[in-house]
Amino acid sequence: MLISKKKRASFKRVLWVFIPAVLVLVVGVGALDFYLAFRMTHPPRTQLYGSPRDFQVILQKPMWFDEKWRNSDSTQSVGWFLSRGKTGPVVILSHGYGSNRSELLTLAFELWKAGYHVLLYDMRGHGESPVKWSGLGTYEKDDLLSAIKFLKTKKTDSGQDLIDGRVGLYGVDMGGYISLVASSQNPAVKAVAVDSVYPDMGHFINHRLKTFIGTDSSTANVFVDSHWTSDLTDLALQLYLMRREDSAPAAESAAAVNASKLFLSANNTGAFELLTHDLYLQAKDPKTLVEVEHTRMDRLYDKASAEYDARIVAFFRDALALAAPEKPGPVARAK
């Protein structure tokens, strides 16, 4: 009996030491996961460094407009609309995570010069978006679909539809992800160009975790790559955002959509290069893969920007061919 009491006493002491330690660990891991979820959904806002006013000599109002429209969850999106003033196709530009619409101004201008209407906007939690948080792709996909719906209401001065029913999408990393997913949910999308994209939100979350924690240490990599860390972080994100599961990850969309697809990657983008190549292999024809020296995951200048933009314009010229200008009829000659 005495030995039994001693064993019970020892067991209780172990429990009193062990249980608090486990609770501290659980609370600590939970707090870390919610902190990481907050960091991921609140990227640092970068200031717009330009606007269509920078092209004022050629691109004058009323050919460009500040626009606002309502999303499906009653939040608001803001952007610039570059109009051709007559019925034609439109290309919508979605910037990358941590960026803003001004990063795509030169591309927007080149597409406008080529004959397209162009919409560039700030994704939620970025730039001048009135929404304070990022949905990391799921909500942004719905926002992009809302933008397409908004553009369909545009009219010419004569009352005709400004958009001819054809839509092109372009996006960088998260912007590319939502462009592929949205293309599978709206048949008006006829062409999609994506830069450094990934197949599903899990890959993006894993990448951001490594960015926040740091990849120089092997301990950090083991922590990020472990299944329980990924599961806990995903749970924290779902609780934080009330996030719905992806109904059609980019990999499924790329494999199903008939729209023309352009994939761009570079060897300085780390895991994104391999992920983009894998998506290209899974994608349905017609598709093209282009290796570039620099992607728009970084800000491009001068020659690099011009060469990059020219590739995108060439793709849309093939995929969203513009109507040939009407030839003048024969001139009647006086007898």
Per-residue pLDDT tens over the stretch 234-256: 555 665 556 555 556 899 999 99
- State residue 138's pLDDT score: 84
**In whole angstroms, what is the distance from residue 264 CA to residue 298 CA?**
13
SS3 52: helix
- State residue 59's pLDDT score: 59
Sheet holding 260-265, edge to edge: 64-70, 76-82, 117-121, 88-94, 163-172, 189-195, 260-265, 287-291
- State residue 79's pLDDT score: 98
The CATH number of 49-200+247-319 is 3.40.50.1820
263 token code pair: 């994939």
**In whole angstroms, what is the distance from residue 125 CA to residue 119 CA?**
18
- State residue 22's pLDDT score: 54
**In whole angstroms, what is the distance from residue 120 CA to residue 190 CA?**
18
- Residue 66 phi, psi (nearest 5): -80, 130
- State residue 261's pLDDT score: 98
- State residue 202's pLDDT score: 80
110 token code pair: 């080149």
- State residue 40's pLDDT score: 84
- State residue 241's pLDDT score: 58
User: Which parts of the chain have pLDDT scores under 50?
Assistant: 1-2, 25, 216-226, 326-335
Would the CA dihedral through 111, 58, 165, 252 be positive or negative?
positive
Judge whether 109 and 165 are in contact, CB under 8 Å.
no
- Residue-wise over 135-167: b if at least 16 C-beta within 10 A, else e? bbbbbbbbbbbbbbebbeebeeeeeeebbbebb
Whole-structure pTM value: 0.85
SS3 80: strand
Question: What are the boundaries of each domain within the chain?
Answer: 1-41+202-245, 49-200+247-319
